[in-house]
Amino acid sequence: MSANIFIAADNKYALYVTRATVATNTGTTVSMAGVVIFMEVNMVPSGRVSCIAGAFVLFDNRWKSTTGAIPTGFEQPGFDDLAWPVVVGEEGEEAYPGTGASAPVTV
């Protein structure tokens, strides 16, 4: 199995796939091969998901977000994220194709 993953992050990120760290970035001035860097035209506050490069991020109320410090072990099975808010889309509800208010960003 393989996947192409394009990441655009404000400041730092860590990408986990089945509990394994597969990519990290320590700041906006550092990039790694294969990561597409671009300016976010329709900036959305933390805890929200937006449409980028003409593709939609599909999610439901199982997706969580936090603006606080990421606790150790958050990627492990059984981690209690009940206090984290549900991720919401542009319209304030779960995002599905065609529901976002933003125009697509062309890369």
| Mean pLDDT of each 10-residue bin along the chain, 107 residues long | 63 73 67 43 48 51 75 84 75 44 45
pTM of the entire predicted model = 0.37
So what's the pLDDT on residue 22?
Answer: 75
Tell me the two tokens of residue 63: 């997706």
Per-residue CA distances from 92 to 8, 34, 62 (Å)? 22, 32, 15
- DSSP output for 32-43: -TTPPP---SS-
R_g over Cα of the chain: 15
Tell me the two tokens of residue 42: 């329709």
Exposure of 45 in the CB half-sphere (CA atoms within 13 A): 7
**How is the chain split into domains, by residue range?**
1-37, 39-107
So what's the pLDDT on residue 3?
Answer: 62
